[in-house]
């Protein structure tokens, strides 16, 4: 599959490349590293938080592909390919899983082949688009070729909503995306918060290009959905794999998994 790769502006930091740097990757530039280092100066455990966020993603996808039986995934804010991408995790459990990745960083497109290494029984595709334009994503023929929106889809918005600074826009984007998914679909989201930080750290982090939302603000993304246990939780406490738990202060991020209303059981967001 061939892509025309747009010009990459290496002079401006991008969250996907900054995240890659925190995870120990090499697909980043000086502007990304400078921005990442500035955030780390204000919040020294940011690398731990990035790793814990990836762990949350893996656990949520395992839950969806396993117990929930989901076979379609829409991962927006994909980031650069790394170990255990969504399709890697899902297709280990269900080889016929189908995944569409979306990100607005042209460098991700340049590395999209690594996101397209699907198991023969499944399929993957990649779209360069912005979360702030949900209809563009949903109308893209590459998405419609892979995903059947009349069947349940897992929508993954992992560590991306905090880059939509305007609250109403952020909530509208999620409503618009979920509004076109079938009953029985799921939302997976994680979001930076200041709830586990002291006031000086919160103030310092507010200078950067993302917004911290508290628990009540995060819960609004799940209005009308059925939260899956343990509900809204610090990501380190969301179905942990190990008895060794990283303190929420070191990964100040909320996470949750919820189901679009349907016949299954759950509990309402709130």
- Which of helix, strand or coil describes residue 8? coil
Render pLDDT for 95-128 as a digit per residue (tens, 0 to 9).
999 999 999 988 888 888 777 888 999 999 999 9
Length of the chain: 270
- Domains and their CATH numbers in the chain: 15-263 (3.40.50.150)
What are 19-35's pLDDT values in tens digits? Answer: 999 989 888 999 999 99
Residue with tokens 């590395």: 111
Q: What is the pTM of this model?
A: 0.92
Please state, rounded to an integer, the average pLDDT across all residues of the chain: 92
User: Which carries the bigger pLDDT value, residue 188 or residue 267?
Assistant: 188
Q: What's the Rg (C-alpha) of the chain?
A: 17
What proportion of the chain, given as a percentage, has pLDDT over 70?
A: 94
The whole-number pLDDT of residue 125 equals 94
Rounded Cα gap, residues 257 and 228, in angstroms? 6
CB 65, CB 88: distance < 8 Å:
no
Tens digits of residue pLDDT in 158-201: 999 999 999 999 999 999 999 999 999 999 999 999 999 999 99
SS3 per-residue string spanning 232-270: CEEHHHCCCCCCCCCCHHHCCEEEEEEECCCCCCCEECC
Distance CA 70, CA 86 (A): 12
Burial 125-161 (b: 16+ CB within 10 A, else e): bbbbbbbeebeebbebeebeebbeeeebbbbbbbbbb
């Amino acid at each position: 599959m061939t892509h025309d790769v747009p010009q990459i502006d290496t002079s401006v930091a991008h969250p996907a490349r900054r995240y890659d740097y925190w995870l120990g990757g090499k697909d980043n530039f000086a502007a990304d590293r400078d921005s990442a280092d500035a955030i780390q100066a204000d919040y020294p455990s940011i690398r731990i938080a990035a790793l814990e966020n990836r762990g949350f993603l893996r656990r949520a996808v395992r839950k969806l592909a396993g117990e929930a039986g989901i076979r379609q995934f829409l991962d927006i804010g994909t980031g650069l390919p790394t170990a255990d991408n969504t399709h890697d995790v899902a297709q280990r459990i269900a080889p016929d899983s189908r995944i569409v990745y979306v990100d607005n960083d042209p460098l991700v497109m340049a590395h999209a082949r690594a996101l397209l290494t699907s198991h023969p029984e499944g399929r993957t595709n990649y779209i360069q688009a912005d979360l702030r334009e949900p209809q563009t994503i949903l109308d893209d023929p590459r998405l419609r070729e892979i995903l059947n929106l009349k069947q349940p889809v897992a929508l993954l918005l992992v560590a991306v909503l905090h880059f939509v600074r305007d609250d109403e826009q952020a909530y509208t984007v999620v409503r618009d995306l979920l509004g076109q998914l079938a009953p029985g679909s799921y939302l997976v989201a994680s979001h930076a918060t200041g709830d586990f930080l002291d006031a000086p750290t919160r103030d310092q982090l507010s200078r950067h290009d993302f917004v911290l939302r508290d628990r009540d603000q995060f819960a609004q993304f799940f209005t009308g959905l059925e939260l899956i246990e343990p509900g809204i939780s610090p990501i380190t406490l969301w179905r942990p794999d190990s008895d060794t738990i990283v303190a929420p202060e070191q990964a100040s991020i909320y996470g949750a998994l919820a189901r679009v209303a349907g016949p299954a059981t759950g509990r309402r967001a709130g």
